Structure 1
């Protein structure tokens, strides 16, 4: 696919500043992306795998936000489980893309910028912009496809989902192949890694799953299956892709926000399918007296949630994706439960992170006088 002229021609996976990589060879090295306050080189660890036969080159990156380390655990597991016997092509594995933020357990760089809003970067810009340009030149410009692994932001969790520009045929191809139950359609924010990589001819998707500062077993399992699926779809690995019985492409999502300050009682969990007017969370004071209730505005699925039940007015509580026309909430729930596959196990495990209580009729109308919605 074409590359934008200002970035020059696509680079070879075989030739790096650290040395050449022969067909059939795997090499570990460190790519210099910046310098620290002390003047030491900041070098991110990379593993490059090259098959004996030519084929596509795919990058898999994690910790673009330095506190989102589920993907770091995924790439570590991929490197050590011995399942990456490539038939053709090449693989660029980057367990920590944003090392300066990773070392600080932070989402952001020391200059307070979000690296995932600074692509494709520039040679003479800010710290973040220069790092972005180096990453773009050395990783994206060698790749034909990309997979970037993320989690929810701090004090939130996400049910595993793919973010992808489904209007791009090759992006849609690998998004479907990844095999997540949920796909959020969109180009991504301006300056984001996946949007800018896709724009210059490297179709890239993002997986979102789990929480910051953790390596969660089911999220790792889901991501590893997804990456393997993509490599199989591209003919780089043996085997058939494993796709759930139903994949839902979400065109519209909303964050339901707290109307009052208080302490939340959750009625749903990440990944749950809900119907219009279903109770999502009840807001009470610290003595348990109801103040307000959040209800689903449409049939949808819970993409993500806050993990902190104490809220002030306007704080995000639940990220809800609207089910597309023709998709029945009951059927989606039934397909998942009958399949008894990874999606059902994911839902059950993530549910244990929340105290979820069904809202009964007896609890309705228990608010203080004049204190309910």
Structure 2
């Protein structure tokens, strides 16, 4: 790497205080044409760390793409110190097919750090790892829930890694999960390679949801402030919830679900979560909260079969904690607005 005034990124020189729009070649198409990932490199005027921010590692998860685009659309936005590597769509082959996966059905987020002589997916992962991850000091990887599900915005980090926990706390999503990620995942392998990386989940696939976008954009700016890449203090909620245990509450019978909670709701043990019945409102049965908790994810498809996941709960320590979390989330404008917006995507009714 050259001195700070000029650095080489993706084969081109970039002066301090400027930005570069670049293309990273990751593979070839069936016709032999190069497949590239668009990248923006933003450089501060003064030295500092290098942060990568990635979206659409799963090609149908677009809230992160929207958040990154919202920031880079401002020609005056960028770090005062250090570098920010912004990648709106990491899995461009999945993105072009509106698909989570690559054309060969592999999950790119299980293929890191990759292999130069492996499958297409592992070769792509190796190129990304060598060209981007190896040159970065920190990372934020933006995701949504999987298809037919939605997530209340939450950061996921390895609590045993102080730098990951620092990033997740500074991001300010309000809810933080202790989760290092599965083997081969981008965040786990990047962290193991010396680039502490967190995941932020929020919203649904195939959409850019304004409140989730706002939460993610604020979080990126917060992390830059935490790393002293921008002036100012991170704008984070008071007493963010740190969760070590989560559980999917699953359907016991097939039928049609009436939901009684929405993403971000807090619940207490025994509280009704959803009521399941036939299409003619017969044979009703009810899903009950197994512990005090917060709804961090749920299905958006009301028709279920036995065993299908319905509500994803994070365990809270007591009803008192649940009440405190509810007050704190309502006190933070972004969390409050996100709860309101996400609840409109699900029909929520009081238990009868």
The CA deviation at 1:85 is: 3.5
Judge conservation of contact 2:42–2:78 (CA < 8 Å) in 1.
no
Q: 2:326 aligns with which of 333, 350, 365?
A: 333
Query: Does residue 100 of structure 2 align to residue 95 of structure 1?
Result: no
1:1-373 pair list within 5 angstroms: 14-82=7-75, 84-324=77-317, 328-337=321-330, 339-360=331-352
Judge conservation of contact 1:251–1:324 (CA < 8 Å) in 2.
no
Judge conservation of contact 1:250–1:324 (CA < 8 Å) in 2.
no
Per the normalisation by structure 2, the TM-score is 0.96
Per the normalisation by structure 1, the TM-score is 0.91
Structure number with bigger Rg: 1
Q: Structure 2: how far apart are the matches of 1:340 and 1:60?
A: 24
Which SS does the other structure have where 2:48 is aligned? coil
User: What is the CA deviation profile of residues 77-123 of structure 1, one whole-angstrom value per residue up to 9, with x for unaligned ones?
Assistant: 01013463321100100000001110000000011100000000000
The CA deviation at 1:193 is: 0.1
Structure 1: which 5+ residue stretches go unaligned? 1-8, 361-373
Which SS does the other structure have where 1:129 is aligned? helix
Q: Structure 1: how far apart are the matches of 2:241 and 2:234?
A: 17
Q: Assess, with a 3 A threshold, how the Cα gap between structure 1 residues 137 and 159 changes in structure 2: closer, same or farther.
A: same
Which SS does the other structure have where 2:47 is aligned? coil
Q: Structure 2: how far apart are the matches of 1:126 and 1:36?
A: 14
Q: Structure 1: how far apart are the matches of 2:281 and 2:76?
A: 51
Q: Which moved more, 1:195-204 or 1:346-355?
A: 346-355
Q: Assess, with a 3 A threshold, how the Cα gap between structure 1 residues 97 and 85 changes in structure 2: closer, same or farther.
A: closer
Judge conservation of contact 1:183–1:247 (CA < 8 Å) in 2.
yes
Q: Which moved more, 1:18-27 or 1:190-199?
A: 18-27
Structure 2: which 5+ residue stretches go unaligned? none
Q: Structure 2: how far apart are the matches of 1:82 and 1:217?
A: 21
Q: Structure 2: how far apart are the matches of 1:309 and 1:325?
A: 29
Which SS does the other structure have where 1:195 is aligned? helix
Q: Which moved more, 1:142-151 or 1:76-85?
A: 76-85
Q: Which moved more, 1:18-27 or 1:148-157?
A: 18-27
Q: Structure 2: how far apart are the matches of 1:239 and 1:84?
A: 15
